[in-house]
Amino acid sequence: MVKVARIRASRLMDGRRRLVSLSELTGMEGDIVTMQEIFHFRQTGVSSEGHVQGRFEATGIRPRFLDHVASHGISLPAELFRPDAKFEA
């Protein structure tokens, strides 16, 4: 089975492009692709220079591709995917 991720970037109000969502494609339901979001960007403010500030937040969903990644020698801690996990951007 091919493991696929969807990375979505958007141009924010400061004109810069930023990754705003990381999702895993989980399958098909008829002609519709099904996905589950793993991380999303949450804007927390704007700096005095006008730059968007924010953080990445885990949705709490443990991606299905973790076993595939582990088979290639990459170990990702389970804490990375906890719903309270936040990462400053």
Q: What is the pTM of this model?
A: 0.83
What is the average per-residue pLDDT within 53-57? 96
- Residues of the chain with pLDDT > 90: what percent? 75
Q: How many CB atoms lie within 10 A of CB 66?
A: 17
Question: Which of 33, 13, 14 is closest to 25 using CA atoms?
Answer: 33
Domain ranges of the chain: 4-88
Note the pLDDT of residue 4.
72
Q: ∠ CA(50), CA(54), CA(59), 5° rounding?
A: 155
